[in-house]
Structure 1
Amino acid sequence: MSEPAAVTLARHFSKLSIDQIPARHLADAKALIADWFAVALAGSRADSGAIARRFATETGGREEACIVNGGGARVPAVHAAFANAIASHSVELDDVDILALFHFSPPVVAAAVAVAERAGSTGAELLTAVVAGCEAMARLSDATNPSLRDRGYHTTPTVGAFGAAVAAGVLLRLDEATMTSALGLAGAQASGLMEMYGPSMQKRFNPGPAARNGVTAAVMAQLGFTGAATILDGPRGFCRAFSDHYDAEALLRGLGTEFPIHIEYKAYSCARPIHNGIDCALDIRKQIGADRVDGIRSITIRRHSAWAHYHQIPRPATHHEAQVSMNYSVGVALREGAALLPQYTEEKVHDEAILRLSEMVTVVPDDSLPRGVSCLMTVETADGASFSSQVDHPKGSIANPMTPEEAAAKAHLLGDPVIGAAGVTRLLERISQLETLPRAAELMALAQGSGVKAAEKAFASAC
């Protein structure tokens, strides 16, 4: 009888070192960490990010790790991971996997950065932990999706708890047996529902428990609490419980030689499956001309049935709901030629000129489209003219990537209002050198607007 998948994975992750990771995945991890910090900085100013920060600071406890934009306040690593994960999911600009099913960084990077501060980890150790956590998330999603999503579970928190546990376990240097227990304890805490769209902050909350629970699982395992080795592929394990049609072989396929991590980035401040529609809208706006947008009389979007029935919200009640509305996002992109934070405000949500376009959107399922997130948009104007655009790979995807300059511009757009342009530049520089940093805690100190000497002082106090 073969050993449980969790044991095999634990052996792999507990022995993983930076020299075993291909250069392109290390580069991806740096880009992911840079994107996470930028998005978390902006998210720390959002209402949901601010509430999470307040919860963490008011709960208090042992000073182990910083909260993004928390003014240097230090809290237990579990609370920092929780608050920072929520902040990094609060402006809908965080990374996404290639199928638009989950976000890597809110659970994994939030947990890794917090535990790196607690453990006094090096930059190389942080990089290794982030790659490991992302690999764990990718393998679990590959094994259980799309059934997991279709059953109503949110992939980011359900598989994110495992990713966070692995990332934390690598930094805590758990051995095979202890890492196995961490996976078991993560499975005991895996949760998260797709019933999260609407005017509330519900969606922003989901990565928080995943990051916190992953850190809890790793620390508890380190203290000697044992977990079930059969948590993934056992008869009542994660795969069977969360998916009607699972592929257990995906848990281990190519383990040790392949890292099935495919990370994409967001160019727009809304749910990823909407981005194709925004790209179509921006293309059509160029075809029509900005001065003729008011003459639009119909908007039809052909969308693959995998996503056709999601994100149809003609009149969002809040900016939270607008960020998961295809209708609104298309309307604001046509009207303003952009879909970033300034386009998703409470004032904009009630702009009748935008809502006129939003309510025009008709979505038609079309399985002939090549990808689940593909969109084919047709717009007709009052004079009878028709304009069309099809986008299969949105801006920021692997097939249509953002340039390094565009990624840096995004980081400055999000981070400059919080720590200044010079602060963002310094943070990005240090992340680019991450494998050489003796103290990963320096990154969080820089994200507070501190200089390198302050970062070193923060590290010393953490030890």
Structure 2
Amino acid sequence: MQTAPENITLELAKAAVGLDLATAPRTLSTRVKLVILDWFAVTLAGSAELVTRQLMKYRLSEGGHPQCTIVGSKARMPASVAALVNGTASHAIDYDDVSFSIPGHATAPVLAAALALAEQTHAGGHQLMQAVLVGYETSCRIAQLIAPNHYARGFHATATMGCFGAAAASARILGLDENATAQALGIAAIKAAGLKAAFGSSCKPLQVGEAARSGLEAARLAQSGVDAPADMIGHRLGFAHTHSDDFYPEAALGPARYVPDFSVATADPAIFDFHMETNLFKFHAACYETHAAIESALKLAQDNDFSHTDITAISIHVNPHCNDICNIQSPLTALQAKFSLRHTVALALAGRDTANPASFNLENLSCPDLLRLQELAQVVLDPTLRVPQTLVRIRLANTSTFELLHDSSIPNPNLDDQQERLIRKFRALCGNCLTANAAQRLETLILHLESAADVGELMR
């Protein structure tokens, strides 16, 4: 526990209102555009998922003003509903970017809310970029305020923190001042919800969509004069103290502290000016905590030139933190497969393309080769490993043993390389959703977003 400011909600609002891309390093604008590019790729792909289609069908049956675009559809809905549906789609295939500052997915709910309001208000591309940065940073700041106990208790931080981030981003689009932004965060405090128990089900992305909708509505209500108590986050009965045993205002209001193991007590954490500088992108269509295991398995198979039929034992060593996240032993659905270390490693060793969302399917769940590898795999919970370090050890029939440790928490310092990889991912995911011409126009617009006079052009 640390001595908190008299009103931490207001201090967080001041930090949000004070953020300005114009005074930030030029590379930050590139980072913002890359998270937007990645969001559109995974949202277009996620728009075809059952949870997105059923949610859209239900909301269309209720009607409403056709204000905003539903990604991947010709439908238009009220802004708050567009935020809900697009936010759900953005997380539906669990392929969206990652922030260990939360820990979770900062962009999904923030951009869903900001896009809807930006389209509704005819905001420009630069204004949208500013809002995305504000929402992203606010999500991470509040997450650091109550880390690590909030996540450890079982809250889905992508949704809980995403609600605050969506509120801050929406407030920026609406041009709210510090006091009104603080009111928006206060209203968001009564709406922020989400549980890790939902992992592996449709409720996981639905929580993200609800966060986007709730955050947008919080900002609109604050704009209209609806009030909240002065410090709904820091009050002794407010959000922070009821949702976590931890309270670290210096971590929330200070520089971005990069702590991949989710512990604010980590000695000498890396320090950045912005949390977005530590953003991580997915290049495997599964839970991010499985990525280090996938990378280790792929590298071992490549370097040692063995076939999956030669394998007699596999052990996957992870921090115990992963047990409640991605250790579904025998997944029964495609969604559960994304949260199974044993299945994702089996996919990698059998040569299935884990970058392709279509690889997570019922056919692979019943494939004899994959089931054999899955049964050979043992997950070992090792507290000496830092999240998300993973050690994979493989034994062959000839008694040879190979092992490799991989850490997937290190951000790529090469923005050009990251952009090239994300463009390839974008084009691959958009291939089934858009014509080649439409995908190219969307890609170009996003990469030059600061020049767009009206975000509506992007949505069209």
Is the CA contact (8 Å cut-off) linking 1:89 and 1:106 kept in structure 2? yes
Question: Of the candidates 395, 405, 412, which is equivalent to residue 398 of structure 1?
Answer: 412
Partner AA of 2:451 in structure 1: T
User: What secondary structure, in the 3-state scheme, does the structure 1 residue paired with 2:375 have?
Assistant: helix
Deviation at 1:276, TM superposition (A): 0.3
User: What secondary structure, in the 3-state scheme, does the structure 2 residue paired with 1:127 have?
Assistant: helix
Question: Of the candidates 325, 329, 332, which is equivalent to residue 344 of structure 2?
Answer: 329
- Name the CA distance, whole Å, in 1 between partners of 2:140 and 2:101: 11
User: What secondary structure, in the 3-state scheme, does the structure 2 residue paired with 1:383 have?
Assistant: coil
Report the equivalent of 1:460.
none
User: What secondary structure, in the 3-state scheme, does the structure 2 residue paired with 1:92 have?
Assistant: coil
Report the equivalent of 2:263.
none
Deviation at 1:98, TM superposition (A): 3.3
Is the CA contact (8 Å cut-off) linking 1:53 and 1:70 kept in structure 2? no
Would you say 1:343 and 2:359 are equivalent positions?
yes
Partner AA of 1:187 in structure 2: A
Would you say 1:79 and 2:94 are equivalent positions?
no
Report the equivalent of 1:444.
459
Between 278-287 and 147-156, the greater mean CA deviation after superposition: 278-287
User: What secondary structure, in the 3-state scheme, does the structure 2 residue paired with 1:125 have?
Assistant: helix
User: What secondary structure, in the 3-state scheme, does the structure 2 residue paired with 1:264 have?
Assistant: coil
Pick closer, same or farther for the CA change 1:181–1:48 going to 2, 3 Å: same
Report the equivalent of 2:148.
146
Would you say 1:357 and 2:373 are equivalent positions?
yes
Partner AA of 2:254 in structure 1: R
- Name the CA distance, whole Å, in 2 between partners of 1:244 and 1:399: 34
Deviation at 1:279, TM superposition (A): 0.4
- Name the CA distance, whole Å, in 2 between partners of 1:275 and 1:288: 20
Report the equivalent of 1:107.
109
Partner AA of 1:398 in structure 2: N
Question: Of the candidates 177, 180, 194, which is equivalent to residue 178 of structure 1?
Answer: 180
- Name the CA distance, whole Å, in 1 between partners of 2:406 and 2:352: 17
Deviation at 1:2, TM superposition (A): 4.4
Deviation at 1:52, TM superposition (A): 2.4
User: What secondary structure, in the 3-state scheme, does the structure 1 residue paired with 2:433 have?
Assistant: helix
Deviation at 1:60, TM superposition (A): 2.4
Deviation at 1:305, TM superposition (A): 2.8
Question: Over residues 66-113 of structure 1, what are the superposed CA-to-partner deviations in whole Å (9 max), with x where a residue is unaligned?
Answer: 100111x21111000000011010111100013682101211010010
User: What secondary structure, in the 3-state scheme, does the structure 2 residue paired with 1:390 have?
Assistant: strand
Is the CA contact (8 Å cut-off) linking 1:113 and 1:441 kept in structure 2? no
Deviation at 1:399, TM superposition (A): 6.0
- Name the CA distance, whole Å, in 1 between partners of 2:126 and 2:414: 29
Report the equivalent of 2:260.
none
Report the equivalent of 2:124.
122
Question: Over residues 243-269 of structure 1, what are the superposed CA-to-partner deviations in whole Å (9 max), with x where a residue is unaligned?
Answer: 1122122221149x9323321100000
Pick closer, same or farther for the CA change 1:252–1:346 going to 2, 3 Å: same
User: Which aligned pairs between 1:20-419 and structure 2 lie closer than 5 A?
Assistant: 20-71=23-74, 73-98=75-100, 101-198=103-200, 200-254=201-255, 258-261=273-276, 262-289=278-305, 292-308=307-323, 310-339=325-354, 340-369=356-385, 371-393=386-408, 397-398=411-412, 403-419=418-434
Partner AA of 2:64 in structure 1: G
- Name the CA distance, whole Å, in 2 between partners of 1:284 and 1:114: 45
Partner AA of 1:157 in structure 2: A
- Name the CA distance, whole Å, in 1 between partners of 2:102 and 2:373: 25
Deviation at 1:443, TM superposition (A): 1.2
Is the CA contact (8 Å cut-off) linking 2:199 and 2:325 kept in structure 1? no
Unpaired stretches in structure 1, ≥5 consecutive residues: 446-463
Q: TM-score, normalised by structure 1?
A: 0.90
Partner AA of 2:321 in structure 1: A
Pick closer, same or farther for the CA change 1:179–1:403 going to 2, 3 Å: closer
- Name the CA distance, whole Å, in 1 between partners of 2:61 and 2:72: 15
Pick closer, same or farther for the CA change 1:347–1:400 going to 2, 3 Å: farther
Deviation at 1:413, TM superposition (A): 0.8
Pick closer, same or farther for the CA change 1:289–1:50 going to 2, 3 Å: farther
Report the equivalent of 1:450.
none
Report the equivalent of 1:452.
none
- Name the CA distance, whole Å, in 1 between partners of 2:388 and 2:21: 34
Is the CA contact (8 Å cut-off) linking 2:102 and 2:144 kept in structure 1? no
User: What secondary structure, in the 3-state scheme, does the structure 2 residue paired with 1:192 have?
Assistant: coil
Identity within the alignment, %: 31
- Extract structure 1 runs of 4+ deviating beyond 6 A: none
For these two proteins, the number of residue pairs brought into alignment is: 439
Q: TM-score, normalised by structure 2?
A: 0.91
Deviation at 1:61, TM superposition (A): 0.9
- Name the CA distance, whole Å, in 2 between partners of 1:259 and 1:397: 13
- Name the CA distance, whole Å, in 1 between partners of 2:193 and 2:399: 50
User: What secondary structure, in the 3-state scheme, does the structure 1 residue paired with 2:154 have?
Assistant: coil
Is the CA contact (8 Å cut-off) linking 2:101 and 2:275 kept in structure 1? no
- Name the CA distance, whole Å, in 2 between partners of 1:389 and 1:223: 56
Is the CA contact (8 Å cut-off) linking 1:169 and 1:182 kept in structure 2? yes
Unpaired stretches in structure 2, ≥5 consecutive residues: 257-271
Is the CA contact (8 Å cut-off) linking 1:81 and 1:111 kept in structure 2? yes
- Name the CA distance, whole Å, in 1 between partners of 2:27 and 2:59: 35
Is the CA contact (8 Å cut-off) linking 1:311 and 1:325 kept in structure 2? yes
Pick closer, same or farther for the CA change 1:442–1:46 going to 2, 3 Å: same
User: What secondary structure, in the 3-state scheme, does the structure 2 residue paired with 1:214 have?
Assistant: helix
- Name the CA distance, whole Å, in 1 between partners of 2:392 and 2:242: 38
Partner AA of 1:165 in structure 2: A
Between 271-280 and 96-105, the greater mean CA deviation after superposition: 96-105
- Name the CA distance, whole Å, in 1 between partners of 2:175 and 2:164: 16
Is the CA contact (8 Å cut-off) linking 1:107 and 1:161 kept in structure 2? yes
- Name the CA distance, whole Å, in 2 between partners of 1:264 and 1:37: 16
User: What secondary structure, in the 3-state scheme, does the structure 2 residue paired with 1:419 have?
Assistant: coil
- Name the CA distance, whole Å, in 1 between partners of 2:174 and 2:303: 55
Report the equivalent of 2:449.
434
Is the CA contact (8 Å cut-off) linking 2:171 and 2:184 kept in structure 1? yes
Partner AA of 1:366 in structure 2: D
Deviation at 1:231, TM superposition (A): 1.2
Deviation at 1:405, TM superposition (A): 2.0
- Name the CA distance, whole Å, in 2 between partners of 1:238 and 1:100: 16
